[in-house]
C-alpha cells in the first residue's frame, strides 16, 4: 500500500512537471488567469513547476521501488504535500481571494497527507512489508 501511494503521487508530479516544462503558458492561464510576460519569469516557471516536479517524481519513483526506502517515500509525500498545503493556506490568508483550483489543490494536498498517515499507521515499519 505504501509503494502504491508513493508511486501514485510520483505519477502526478511527473504529469504536472511535464506539462509545466513544455506548456507552461496554457496551464498558467488556465489555473491563474494570467501568464508571466518576461522570459526570465517563464524560465523560472519551467524550472520550478516543471523541473522541480520532474525531479521530485524521479525521487518518489526511486523511493517507492524498494521495500527498504518506501517508508521514506511516504514521509516525502507527507512533507512535500504538507508543505504545499501550509504555503497555500498562508497564501489564502495573506493574499485573500483565490480561484477554484487553489481550493481543489489544497483539498487534494490535505487528502494525500491524511491518506499517507493512514498508510503509515497500517504498516508502521518496512519489516512488515
Q: Which of 34, 24, 31, 83 is CA-nearest to residue 56? A: 83
When divided into structural domains, the chain yields a total of 1
Q: Encode pLDDT of 33-68 as tens digits.
A: 888 889 999 999 999 999 999 999 999 999 999 999
Which residues contact residue 20 at a Cβ distance below 8 angstroms, ignoring those fewer than 6 apart? 27, 45, 46, 49, 50, 53
121 has pLDDT over 50: yes
Contact 4, 67 (CB under 8 A): no
Q: Determine the number of helices (DSSP H) and then strands (DSSP E) in the chain.
A: 6, 0
Enclosing domain of residue 86: 2-128
74 vs 89: CA distance, rounded Å:
22
**What pLDDT is recorded for position 31?**
84
Length, in residues, of the chain: 129
Q: Indicate whether this model's pTM tops 0.85.
A: yes
**What pLDDT is recorded for position 55?**
98
Amino acid at each position: 500500500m505504501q509503494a502504491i501511494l508513493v508511486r501514485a503521487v510520483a505519477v502526478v508530479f511527473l504529469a504536472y512537471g511535464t506539462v509545466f516544462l513544455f506548456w507552461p503558458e496554457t496551464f498558467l492561464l488556465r489555473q491563474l488567469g494570467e501568464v508571466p510576460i518576461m522570459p526570465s519569469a517563464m524560465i523560472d516557471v519551467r524550472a520550478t513547476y516543471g523541473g522541480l516536479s520532474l525531479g521530485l517524481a524521479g525521487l518518489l519513483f526511486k523511493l517507492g521501488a524498494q521495500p527498504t526506502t518506501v517508508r521514506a517515500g511516504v514521509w516525502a509525500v507527507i512533507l512535500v504535500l504538507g508543505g504545499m498545503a501550509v504555503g497555500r493556506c498562508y497564501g489564502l490568508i495573506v493574499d485573500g481571494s483565490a480561484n477554484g483550483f487553489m481550493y481543489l489543490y489544497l483539498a487534494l494536498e490535505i487528502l494525500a497527507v491524511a491518506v499517507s498517515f493512514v498508510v503509515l499507521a497500517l504498516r508502521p515499519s518496512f519489516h512488515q512489508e
